Amino acid sequence: MLAELIIRNFATVDALQIEFKPGMSVITGETGAGKSVILGALSLSLGDRADKGTVRAGAKKAELSAEFNIEAIPAAQGWLHAHDLDHDESHTCILRRVITNDGRSKGYINGSPVTMTSLKSLGEMLIDIHSQHEHQSLLHKATHLRMLDDFSVDKDLSAKLHSIWKQWQQNNQQMVQLKSASEESSAQTQLLSYQLTELEEMEIGENEVEELDAEFKALNSADSIISTIQTVLNLCSENDDHNASSSLATSLSAMREVPAQDEKVKSITALLENADIQLSEAVAELRSFNDEFRADPQRLETINNRLSDLYSVARKHKINAKQLPALVADLQEQLTRFENSDAELDQLKANDELLREQYQQIGKKVSANRKKGAKKLADEVNKQIATLGMPNAALAVSLIATDSEKPSQHGLESAEFLVSTNPGQSPQALNKIASGGELSRISLAIQVITAQTTHTPILVFDEVDVGIGGGVAKVVGELLRELGKKTQIFCVTHQAQVASQGHNHFYVSKSTGSDSTQTSIVELGKKEIIREVARMLGGDDFTDESLAHAQQMVASS
């Protein structure tokens, strides 16, 4: 639902803030009062093209903002979520447009900057402006198929068709990717085999690089290590003149000779005894290491050569030498996958055949629903068209089989609404109809019939009563009011019979000063609505008869 429209410095509007209600809202006013300005502002907020001429004279920029409640429009909710523009859970969506006097333009959705394409895409989900081709979804063939399906195709059947198509699409993408990879698999397999053979022949241990690095560092400093060990042994026990072991023994002997030992002396003696034991153990370990450790130049050279080979192959593969075992595992996995690709491709091909078969079965059932529904929809719409002052017009729903062998998310055919407006005239596409009034009334008939089975966005009908008489105008008004019970309707009209049917009534007026023109719009109360309908019936010179007639028309609605 369109809840509010704010217009600033646009065309002949200085500032307007209009709040709207559900139901059918009528917009009336004298010719040239600026009703088109209101619709133009709404169209621009939905992404229509703009130029600097849209900015009010003397102003730097025009600002247009349309606030919608999209609680009942799931497609719009999904679009906002997919584009990360649903900033809260209030179901409020604000489309804003700023146009500068040099023709530049910016668009915003819920406060976030967006492209005009995004603004237009969302706008088409929110509102249809009939007679402004940029927003007539009925001019798009995709809309025809959607409306036909909503009218005639079982919902579960339609969902199943889409599900099978989605599965086929995913399977087909995998198959295309695998086929592409298979074309290069021979050369790739040879390369992987060569790389893996080279690495496997080296028999690289799991932590070999780390272990060899540690041993290399030890052997490389063997002389220094041996010298250090001998020095420590001399200091601890092997220096005849002075060593730690003999000094500790002398100290212990002296402490044991202390007379009348108290607890503190005993504690010190015990610590020295422990130190003597630990020193003896350290000396034993030093002697053992000294006996076993030898400088080994040959082993050092062997390790150096092995590390050189490992680091060289690592540089070749542009990795750290410690990652070589992981590389071997990865290459083995890749080679296995390539070797198994033929079997995987065969499975995908089998899935493709099965899904295509299932798609055809469901598609044929959907096609049967469509064929039956196309005739029923055309018959019901044609009855409605006849009541709208177009007795010679007829709608036909054409089903066109798709040429592509690939499954489509839309089924085995497309649909198009064709119309002939005169006897003997061959049916043509809706966008070939010359008269905007004819197109609006045909669109109205289609919307009325399909409104029971599809979610219809907000509808704006711009002078759908052009070229029709009072009796037909009354029918148009009644249809619009009935449609307004299910969706929000805006109707710009010059016909009193249509205006009297509105749930809400807005009056557009224009005032002209010496150097400016100002358009304004106000919502009318009940008495004001009667006077406006009377004006539309007989002009500004009201009579008791015209007022009574207007009151009767409004009351009967």
Q: What would the 3-class secondary structure string for 290-302 be?
A: HHHCCCCHHHHHH
- Mean pLDDT for 482-488 is 87
Residue type, 193: S
pLDDT above 80: residue 4: yes
More confident position, 433 or 480: 480
Rounded Cα distance, 184 and 163, in Å: 33
The Cα–Cα gap between 70 and 14 comes to: 28
Q: Environment class of residue 344 by beta-carbon count within 10 Å: exposed (0-12), middle (13-18) or buried (19+)? A: middle
Find the mean pLDDT for residues 370-374. Answer: 95
In this prediction, residue 132 carries a pLDDT of 41
pLDDT for 310-343, tens place per residue?
Answer: 899 889 889 998 999 898 888 888 888 777 777 7
Residue, of 61 and 342, whose pLDDT is higher:
61
CA–CA dist 395, 414 (Å, integer) = 16
And the tokens for 522? 């106000």
Average pLDDT value for residue range 468-477: 80
Residue 216 has what pLDDT?
A: 82
For residue 461, what is the enclosing H or E element? strand 458-462
Tokens of residue 440, six digits: 């609006």
pLDDT for residue 19? 93
Spatial contact of 491 and 27, defined as CB atoms under 8 Å apart: yes
Amino acid at site 464: V
Measured distance CA(473)–CA(455) in Å, rounded: 26
What was the pLDDT predicted at 49?
Answer: 85
**What pLDDT, on the 0 to 100 scale, is given for residue 467?**
64
Q: What is the mean pLDDT of residues 31-44?
A: 80
CA-atom Rg of the chain in angstroms: 44
Residue 351 pLDDT greater than 90, yes or no: yes
Check pLDDT > 60 for residue 134.
no
> Do the Cβ atoms of 538 and 485 come closer than 8 Å?
no
SS3 214: helix
Burial class (CB within 10 angstroms; exposed 0-12, middle 13-18, buried 19+) of 238: middle
pLDDT over 90 (residue 143): no
Q: Average pLDDT, whole number, for the chain?
A: 85
Give whole-number Cα distances, 321 to 90, 181, 207, 331, in Å: 57, 30, 10, 16
Enclosing H/E stretch for 510? strand 504-512
Q: Of 283-292, 401-410, 447-456, 471-480, which gets the smallest average pLDDT?
A: 447-456
d(CA 99, CA 331): 59
pLDDT at 370 over 90: yes
| 244-289 pLDDT per residue, tens | 888 888 888 888 888 877 888 888 889 988 988 998 898 888 888 8
Q: What is the widest separation between alpha-carbon atoms in the chain?
A: 142
Contact 359/164 with Cβ under 8 angstroms?
Answer: yes
Q: 519 with 536: CB under 8 angstroms?
A: no
Confidence (pLDDT) at 294:
66
Can you spell out the DSSP letters for 334-368? HHHHHHHHHHHHHHHHHHHHHHHHHHHHHHHHHHH
Q: Domains plus CATH for the chain?
A: 1-129+503-523 (3.40.50.300), 189-335 (no CATH)
**In the prediction, which pLDDT does 133 show?**
43
Per-residue confidence (pLDDT) for residue 466, from 0 to 100 = 66
Q: Which two tokens stand for residue 297?
A: 């130049």
More confident site: 52 or 544: 544
Least confident span in 267-276, 347-356, 478-487, 533-542: 533-542
**Nearest residue to 508 (alpha-carbon basis) of 494, 498, 496:** 494
In angstroms, the CA 543 to CA 5 distance is: 35
Task: Give the three-class secondary structure for 393.
Answer: coil
Q: Which of 94, 29, 107 has the alpha carbon at shortest distance from 65?
A: 94
Mean pLDDT for 357-362 is 95
pLDDT, tens only, 159-202: 999 999 999 999 999 988 887 766 666 667 778 888 888 888 88
pLDDT of residue 240: 72
| Cα gap 161→152, rounded to integer Å | 15
Higher pLDDT, 468 or 320: 320
pTM value is 0.59
Tell me what pLDDT residue 540 has: 72
Residue 250 CA neighbour count, 13 Å, CB half:
6
Q: Which residues contact 172 (CB under 8 A, 6 or more apart)?
A: 352, 406
Report whether pLDDT(113) > 90.
yes
- Strand partners for 441: none
Q: For residue 473, is it left (φ>0), alpha (ψ between -120 and 50) or beta?
A: alpha
Among residues 372, 432, 542, 477, the alpha carbon closest in space to that of 139 is found at 432
Of 132-141, 194-203, 289-298, 412-421, the one with minimum mean pLDDT is 132-141
